[in-house]
Structure 1
Amino acid sequence: MSAFLRRLRPDPYIVALLTMVALASALPARGVVEDVLDQLIVVAIGLLFFLYGARLSTETVIAGIRHWRLHLAVLASTFVLFPLLGLAVRLLPESVLSAELAAGVLFLCLLPSTVQSSIAFTSIAKGNVAAAICTASLSNVLGVVLTPVLVAVLLSDTGMSFSGGTVLRIVVQLLVPFALGQALRPWIGGFVGRHKTVLGLLDRGSILLVVYTAFSGAVVAGVWSELAGWDLAALVAVCVVLLVVVLAVTTFAARKLRFPREDRITIIFAGSKKSLATGVPMATVLFAGTGAGLVILPLMLFHQLQLIVCAVLARRWGASAPVTPPTAPAPATV
């Protein structure tokens, strides 16, 4: 029982994110403080995507092209299956899920996969770690471009449109820092690798700042007064169903396509994840002026659910993995 309870223990980072939401609800940023935070966020988002570019190895992605069937399966789940499910959620009547939260669910469905947790869970489950590194990296590289385009096409009715100003914000705050990080990776890649802990704290601290500011804007705009307990319950139920459906479809498809066990694990974990680290700053850029608070709430809930469920699956599959027999020593040659 204690082991089961430990699995359900919330991730400390999720607790920190929810703390920022509570702080923004009690003490939202206003006036000069809000203006200063907005400028800091511009810098923080640029820094985040610069670090993403410096971390993701282009060579690793290119080397993994030979796993093209696996990559296509993961990308199909990430950028086809998920968006279709997100569009289905938007068909729900507002009596079940408000239009703002449904838009947030669709936004999370348009995001790329995670890198760290996809690799970590694949490793625990004894899957194809090298393929997980390649496919999660490829998903994030493509997501920098694909996610804004998909948002512009599928969420144009939420106040986000592909105007000249929006394109310029995407290029300046997302694409330019990311490309610069990739270009400088030969010189700073080693530094980034040696200081993962410090840069990880900077990474997460920047996202906490973005969450606080986004929810501050939502509170000032009065969105919490329109959010009832039923809305949160319905949102949790939708996120649970969304995760279960994607896990079931990726599992079924990977078996039908006759992938080996190790590749199936990679497809299931990388194909069912959505990146909080990428989604939060992206929402701030893409939904500037419309309020990103309610947009990122579904992503925060889904992120915690995917961590809990996939942690349980990874441990179970890792424990049941077939034991590889030791390799017999080569015969001596004369």
Structure 2
Amino acid sequence: MKKFLIQRWFLIALVAVLAIGTCFAKQLEPVTKLHFPGTAMPLRSVIVAVVLFLMAFPLEASAMWKAMRRPWPPLLAVVVNVGLLPLLAWGVSFGLNADLGGGLLVAAATPCTLASAAVWTRRAGGNDAVAILVTIITNLFCFIVTPLWLLVMTGESVDSPELSLANMSTKLGSLVVLPMFAAQLLRRYKPLGIWATREKLTLSVLAQCGLLSMVMFGAIRTGLGLSDPTQPNSSIFDLSMMLAAVCFVHTAMLCVGVYLAKAARFSREDQIAVAFAGSQKTLMVGLLMAISLQVSILPMVAYHVSQLFIDTLIADRFRANQPEAPIAA
């Protein structure tokens, strides 16, 4: 039981936070209006910056340079992640209601996850250096790519100042890109870099706690929307369709990544990296955008949770089918 709780604590906490935030939304609404002490900056924005810093601090730049020696696998994964995946999700979103469809578009436009792509790639026996490079590229350029995709896919249907290209680019640049740069600059000081690498697990747990707080903000907004009689509620059928949609988009892009990597004659290790890095999406940036654009956070959360379960099964399958190394004579 203890081992199960240690391995699954985040998923358990995620469900609990979603339930509490949704069910007690009215009581918790004041939390969403908190600002960082002494500033006009919303507390959630500070949390996003801190979490992105904590996630980027343990990343070793040496892995990125190693992968850049052979750039085609990471470039293919980037094309799948920020090119093909949003296109597929755009088509699928027409089968969902406006709120859930908008949430799916947000999930599709976000960059690759900062942690789990490399972890699952390594677990499956793939080249985690490729996954790390894809993570860095997609997150560093998300302040351009994410707003552009959302503008193209939503058009004028979302009448919000948050949708302006300048507004979202500035927000993502300051809350995502700058913390990542700051983390990597601090790593240049060798004692701090060694400490960050050694304390990777601790920093990851702290980042996930911050992530849960962002889920709480989104869950409160969802709960307020559900209790508002003027807002259309999503039925069980709508939610089931949404869950099927996110699972389909993720799994389809994972398979497309493997197929294209095989067609390009990449090594097995690089095929695995393209599959995971090309199909995974980061929860933090998705939550930030969904809350800002006032669309449902449920597709983003569902995408994140489903990719954890689906990719665990697929990674274990890859690992089980790993060719045995030839025995020396």
TM-score (norm 1): 0.82
Question: How has the CA–CA distance of structure 1 residues 11 and 239 changed in structure 2, closer, same or farther, with 3 Å as cutoff?
Answer: farther
User: Partner of 1:272 in structure 2?
Assistant: 279
| Residues in 1 aligned to 2:59 and 2:208: alpha-carbon distance in whole angstroms | 17
**1:77 positional shift:** 0.6
What's the CA shift string for 1:285-320, capped at 9, x where partnerless?
xx1xx435x1x2112112222222221222122122
Match of 2:34 among 12, 36, 42: 36
| Residues in 1 aligned to 2:69 and 2:261: alpha-carbon distance in whole angstroms | 17
- Map residues 151-170 of structure 1 onto 2, 5 A cutoff: 151-156=150-155, 157-158=157-158, 159=160, 160-162=162-164, 165-170=167-172
User: Partner of 1:311 in structure 2?
Assistant: 312
User: Partner of 1:196 in structure 2?
Assistant: 200
Query: Where in structure 1 are there 5+ consecutive unaligned residues?
Result: 1-5, 329-334
User: Partner of 1:219 in structure 2?
Assistant: 223
With 101-110 and 38-47 compared, the bigger mean Cα shift is at 38-47
| Residues in 1 aligned to 2:121 and 2:298: alpha-carbon distance in whole angstroms | 27
What's the CA shift string for 1:155-188, capped at 9, x where partnerless?
3532342265544433433333333223222123
| Residues in 2 aligned to 1:199 and 1:136: alpha-carbon distance in whole angstroms | 17
Match of 1:16 among 9, 13, 17: 13
> Is the counterpart of residue 297 in structure 1 residue 298 in structure 2?
yes
- Map residues 133-152 of structure 1 onto 2, 5 A cutoff: 133-152=132-151
Question: How has the CA–CA distance of structure 1 residues 147 and 182 changed in structure 2, closer, same or farther, with 3 Å as cutoff?
Answer: farther
User: Partner of 2:104 in structure 1?
Assistant: 105
Q: Secondary structure at the match of 1:55?
A: coil
> Is the counterpart of residue 228 in structure 1 residue 235 in structure 2?
yes
| Residues in 1 aligned to 2:258 and 2:79: alpha-carbon distance in whole angstroms | 13
| Residues in 1 aligned to 2:29 and 2:122: alpha-carbon distance in whole angstroms | 47
TM-score (norm 2): 0.83
With 188-197 and 64-73 compared, the bigger mean Cα shift is at 188-197
Question: How has the CA–CA distance of structure 1 residues 176 and 114 changed in structure 2, closer, same or farther, with 3 Å as cutoff?
Answer: closer
User: Partner of 1:51 in structure 2?
Assistant: 54
| Residues in 2 aligned to 1:168 and 1:104: alpha-carbon distance in whole angstroms | 21
| Residues in 2 aligned to 1:54 and 1:145: alpha-carbon distance in whole angstroms | 23
* Conserved 8 A contact 2:120-2:276: yes
* Conserved 8 A contact 1:41-1:206: no
**1:80 positional shift:** 0.8
* Conserved 8 A contact 1:274-1:303: yes
Question: How has the CA–CA distance of structure 1 residues 141 and 173 changed in structure 2, closer, same or farther, with 3 Å as cutoff?
Answer: closer
User: Partner of 1:332 in structure 2?
Assistant: none
**1:203 positional shift:** 0.8
Question: How has the CA–CA distance of structure 1 residues 116 and 282 changed in structure 2, closer, same or farther, with 3 Å as cutoff?
Answer: same
With 319-328 and 110-119 compared, the bigger mean Cα shift is at 319-328
Query: Where in structure 2 are there 5+ consecutive unaligned residues?
Result: 37-41
| Residues in 2 aligned to 1:27 and 1:314: alpha-carbon distance in whole angstroms | 37
Q: How many residues align?
A: 310
* Conserved 8 A contact 1:89-1:106: no
**1:32 positional shift:** 4.3
Larger Cα-atom Rg: 1
- Counterpart AA for 2:47: A
What's the CA shift string for 1:83-137, capped at 9, x where partnerless?
1012102333xxxx21110111111111222243222222222222333333333
What's the CA shift string for 1:22-45, capped at 9, x where partnerless?
111222255644322683322211
* Conserved 8 A contact 2:103-2:298: yes
User: Partner of 1:127 in structure 2?
Assistant: 126
Percentage of pairs with the same residue = 25
**1:250 positional shift:** 1.7
**1:138 positional shift:** 2.8
**1:81 positional shift:** 0.7
* Conserved 8 A contact 1:90-1:106: yes
**1:150 positional shift:** 2.5
| Residues in 2 aligned to 1:239 and 1:150: alpha-carbon distance in whole angstroms | 18
Supply the RMSD in Å over aligned alpha carbons.
2.7
**1:67 positional shift:** 2.0
User: Partner of 1:250 in structure 2?
Assistant: 257
| Residues in 2 aligned to 1:198 and 1:306: alpha-carbon distance in whole angstroms | 23
Runs of 4+ aligned residues of structure 1 deviating over 6 Å after TM superposition are none
| Residues in 1 aligned to 2:319 and 2:88: alpha-carbon distance in whole angstroms | 29
**1:265 positional shift:** 1.3
- Map residues 178-189 of structure 1 onto 2, 5 A cutoff: 178-187=180-189, 188-189=192-193
